[in-house]
Amino acid sequence: MSEVKFDLAQLDLTAKSNEGEWLELEHPVTGEPLGIKIKLAGVDSDIYKKQLRKLQDRRLRKGLRTITAEEFEEEQLQLLVACTLDWKGMVYEGKELEPTRENIRMVYEKFSWIREQVDNFIGDRRNFLKS
């Protein structure tokens, strides 16, 4: 009798990362759920890889061997914005925000704790292996 082999298709992280998963934001101090959800593509998604290559190509064209901390932060922000597929319940100054690129960027620039939760979620492959 042959031994049952593990099917790697169960770990197709690209497909699952492309579909995206929902992150529920937590209060930065208490950890309580806020009822705000952000749908994110993961680091194995085509979106993430395409944006990363775009940033790397820009550096290569400019002949940049090193980048400043400010440039690195900007590149990370661009990756997070690109990987944000949708959101629900995002209210700012009494108005519900549509998930436009401009609004996504504004929220991530203004609220570093949101940017941190998004970055951690995108980079954690376990989030994209949910059944």
Single pTM value for the model: 0.88
Give CA–CA dist 84/60, Å, rounded: 26
pLDDT, greater one: 7 or 106: 106
**The predicted structure's pLDDT at residue 1:** 60
| Per-residue model confidence (pLDDT) at position 64 | 66
* pLDDT tens per residue across span 89-111: 999 999 999 999 999 999 999 99
Joined tokens for residue 91: 């209210």
> What pLDDT is stored for residue 6 in this prediction?
86
Residue 59: band (very low, low, confident or very high) from pLDDT cuts 50, 70, 90: confident
Q: If you search the block for the tokens 């759920």, which residue do you land on?
A: 33
CA distances from 77 to 34, 101, 124 (A): 22, 11, 17
Distance CA 67, CA 91 (A): 34
